[in-house]
Amino acid sequence: MTNRHELSLEEKINLMKEKENELSHRHLCEKLNVSIDINTHVYEWFSLQRSKNIPISGPILQQYARNIALQFDQSTNFRASNDWLDRFRTRYNINFRAICGEARAVDSTTVDDWKSPLHSFIEHYDPWNIFNCDETSLFYKLLPDRSLVVDRNDCRGGKRSKERYTVLLCCNRSGSEKLKPLVIGKYARPRCFKNIDMKHLPVQWCSNRSAWMNSKVFTEWLENLDVCMRKQKRHILTFLDNALVHPLDIQLENIKLKYFPPNTTAIIQPLDQGIIKAFKTHYRRYLVKHIIAKATVATTADDINVTALDAVHWIDAAWSAVTEVSIKNIFRSAGFERHTLIDRVDMVSLDSNVAGDVLIDNKPIEELDRVLKHLMIGGKTISADDYIIIDDQIPTFNEWDDATDRIISIGGFTNDDVENSEELPGEDPPSLSKSLELIHHLRILSTAQQPELHSLITQLRSKLTDIFLNSNSSKQRSIL
């Protein structure tokens, strides 16, 4: 006789499913609690290290998280992936930045002593005649590889020095004037500069054996700027750091130099406060877009080339893209503010932020983040913030006092420039008639698929046609 309390097969199956769901839910809760515990422990450890001014990078944080996970569960499969790192950074609002030794060593008393008389330095100069200049290292073909580590010693010679430029930027306090960037490369005339008039480059091009700034190049740049200001009948005040390559005894007629105190530029120099970061953000956006465009037709990684000519045009475009408003805001946050009615009306109001952060346009950083998501190097991606600062601490002048940059060339060749070329072969430009044919294909593309490009291509076609008509290659034709 069947026991009336005996469960049917269907009831047994449902009961087993309930128990399975309960166990699964309990296991999920346990995993979630463990994950929360890992995040909490990692953040507490991170906060402790930063309170000691110990720099912590993403990989270090990931390795510590793995160690914590193993302490919770030896059989864990927690990997502290890049996705976990991104979620962790978002949760705790962490932005990894280069931790500059100079910034950590800044004496607040020195900064206050500098800012107190600052207004007396600038009161006799209009904002458009107050300038700041500074150099930055730029690895102009640097791929966004999260595992890449750039060592200062890599710059002394070899492949790294060939891939690095030193860029001198200079702008005025009002943001209305950004001088043409000075770019120092390793070679006097790379192959891609063949048949190009160096005077027509969008940057000032200089060269030495190690692509560093030195006193001779900087002095000549200052003297040329002084001549330019004399022609314009302008007297300007220029702020700069006290680097060894910046001469203290130079005689100038229309430029007055004012040097920042040692170990303070990370706090009070406008270019260090966010202008250079904005420049590098735009540059690397152009670089990543170039890599993505090349990758669509490349068969191997070697087909994705970046030439010096590409770099100088991106440098020019990136510098032009830094907005006037951003420059004004950064100068103001660095203490360059004259309390006049004009300034109060003209300046964009600034919120009080965390020390070291400046209100600049975040749209370029967001755009760089967006395009980086379309590019993976070795199966990994990198955030825009990490990519922008990857070469911030690379020296811009010879810190080792060796003879690698003694031979100088400005806008031409040197007798000792024995390797006067890039690794990449030069590329001959298409003829004007061929260029017009290419524009025709682009117009078909814009008409059929990308109508937002139509007006730009039409303008380009019109300009190129004018150049063609004014050239010697244009011949009179009859239309029957």
Asked if residue 235 lies in contact with residue 129, where contact means CB atoms within 8 angstroms, the answer is yes
Q: Are residues 43 and 170 in the same domain?
A: no
Q: Which residue has the higher pLDDT, 70 or 319?
A: 319
The CATH number of whichever domain residue 122 belongs to comes to 3.30.420
Q: Are residues 202 and 112 in the same domain?
A: yes
The 10s digit of each residue's pLDDT in 76-121 is 778 888 778 878 877 777 765 444 444 455 667 888 888 888 888 8
User: pLDDT at position 185, please?
Assistant: 92
3 state SS of 204: strand
Return the exposure string of 266-288: e unless at least 16 CB atoms fall within 10 Å of the residue's CB, then b: bbbbbbbbbbbbbbbbbbbbbbb
How far is it, in rounded angstroms, from Cα 420 to Cα 184?
14
Asked whether residue 7 carries a pLDDT value surpassing 90, the answer given is no
260 assigned to some structural domain: yes
User: pLDDT at position 100, please?
Assistant: 43
The CATH number of whichever domain residue 72 belongs to comes to 1.10.10.60
Q: Which residue has the higher pLDDT, 264 or 254?
A: 254
344 assigned to some structural domain: no
User: pLDDT at position 284, please?
Assistant: 92
Confidence grade of residue 156 (pLDDT, cut at 50, 70, 90): low
Give mean pLDDT, residues 16-35.
Answer: 55
How far is it, in rounded angstroms, from Cα 414 to Cα 316?
26
153 assigned to some structural domain: no
Asked if residue 152 lies in contact with residue 394, where contact means CB atoms within 8 angstroms, the answer is yes
DSSP notation for 107-134: -HHHHHHHHTTHHHHHTTS-GGGEEEEE
Q: Are residues 327 and 271 in the same domain?
A: yes
Q: Are residues 311 and 248 in the same domain?
A: yes
Domain boundary among 66, 92, 118: 92
Confidence grade of residue 278 (pLDDT, cut at 50, 70, 90): very high
User: pLDDT at position 208, please?
Assistant: 87
Q: Are residues 296 and 439 in the same domain?
A: no
How far is it, in rounded angstroms, from Cα 392 to Cα 99?
10
Largest CA distance in the chain: 117
403 assigned to some structural domain: no
Residue 434, burial from CB neighbour count under 10 angstroms (0-12, 13-18, 19+) = exposed
Q: Are residues 265 and 323 in the same domain?
A: yes
How far is it, in rounded angstroms, from Cα 277 to Cα 286?
14
Q: Is 306 left (phi over 0), alpha (psi -120 to 50) or beta?
A: beta
pTM attached to this predicted model = 0.66
**How is the chain split among helix, strand and coil, in percent rounded to 5?**
50, 10, 40
Q: Which residue has the higher pLDDT, 314 or 69?
A: 314
Q: Are residues 50 and 178 in the same domain?
A: no
Q: Are residues 135 and 277 in the same domain?
A: yes
Q: Are residues 322 and 459 in the same domain?
A: no
Residue 27, burial from CB neighbour count under 10 angstroms (0-12, 13-18, 19+) = exposed
379 assigned to some structural domain: yes
Q: Are residues 86 and 216 in the same domain?
A: no
How far is it, in rounded angstroms, from Cα 264 to Cα 110?
8
User: pLDDT at position 24, please?
Assistant: 56
User: pLDDT at position 398, please?
Assistant: 75
Please report, as a single letter, which amino acid is at residue 146. R
28 assigned to some structural domain: yes
DSSP notation for 392-419: TTS-SB-SS--STT--EEESS--TT-TT
Q: How far is CA 197 from CA 179, 357, 418, 433, 463, in A?
A: 20, 41, 21, 22, 21
- H or E, element range at 205: strand 204-208
User: pLDDT at position 453, please?
Assistant: 73
Give mean pLDDT, residues 394-411.
Answer: 60
Asked whether residue 312 carries a pLDDT value surpassing 80, the answer given is yes
Q: Per DSSP, what are the bridge partners of residue 166?
A: 137, 184
Q: Per DSSP, what are the bridge partners of residue 171?
A: 132, 178
Confidence grade of residue 344 (pLDDT, cut at 50, 70, 90): very low
Q: Are residues 76 and 192 in the same domain?
A: no
Q: Are residues 87 and 113 in the same domain?
A: no
404 assigned to some structural domain: no
Asked if residue 408 lies in contact with residue 216, where contact means CB atoms within 8 angstroms, the answer is yes
Specify the number of domains making up the chain. Answer: 3
Cα-based angle 171, 236, 123 (whole degrees, multiple of 5): 100
72 assigned to some structural domain: yes
Please report, as a single letter, which amino acid is at residue 195. N
Q: Which domain holds residue 137?
A: 108-144+161-338+358-389
Percent with pLDDT over 90 in the chain: 26
How far is it, in rounded angstroms, from Cα 227 to Cα 217?
16
Mean pLDDT of the chain: 76
User: pLDDT at position 469, please?
Assistant: 64
Q: What would the two tokens of residue 126 be? A: 């209009």
